[in-house]
Amino acid sequence: MERMPQPALESEAPDFTLDALDPDGNVRPVTLHALRGKWVVLFFYPADFSFVCPTEVRGFASLHEEFVAAGAVILGVSPDDIRTHRAWAGELGGLPYPLLSDVANEVAQAYGAAVEGQPRPDRATFVIDPDGLLLYTERVARNVGRGVVETLRILQALQTGRLCPADWHPGEQTFDPALDAPRPQLAADV
Contact 85, 21 (CB under 8 A): yes
| pTM, to two decimals | 0.90
Question: What would the pLDDT profile of 122-155 be if each residue is shown by its tens digit?
Answer: 999 999 999 999 999 999 988 899 999 999 999 9
Phi-psi sector, 108: left (phi>0), alpha (psi -120 to 50), beta:
alpha
What is residue 23's three-state secondary structure?
coil
Helix (DSSP H) and strand (DSSP E) numbers for the chain: 5, 7
**Top-confidence residue, 186 or 163:** 163
What is residue 32's three-state secondary structure?
helix
53 is catalytic: yes
Question: What would the pLDDT profile of 4-59 be if each residue is shown by its tens digit?
Answer: 678 999 999 999 999 999 999 999 999 999 999 999 999 999 999 999 999 999 99
pLDDT at 3 over 80: no
pLDDT at 91: 95
Pairing of strands 17-21, 123-128: unpaired
pLDDT band at residue 182 using 50, 70 and 90 as cut-offs? low
pLDDT at 184: 57
Considering the candidates 20, 21, 53, 155, report the single residue annotated as catalytic: 53
**Cα 129 to Cα 142: distance, rounded to the nearest angstrom:** 26
pLDDT at 176 over 90: no
Question: Shortest CA distance to 88 belongs to which of 127, 46, 32?
Answer: 46
Question: What would the pLDDT profile of 96-113 be if each residue is shown by its tens digit?
Answer: 999 999 999 999 999 999
Q: What is the DSSP string of 123-171?
A: EEEEEE-TTSBEEEEEEE-TTS---HHHHHHHHHHHHHTSB--TT--TT
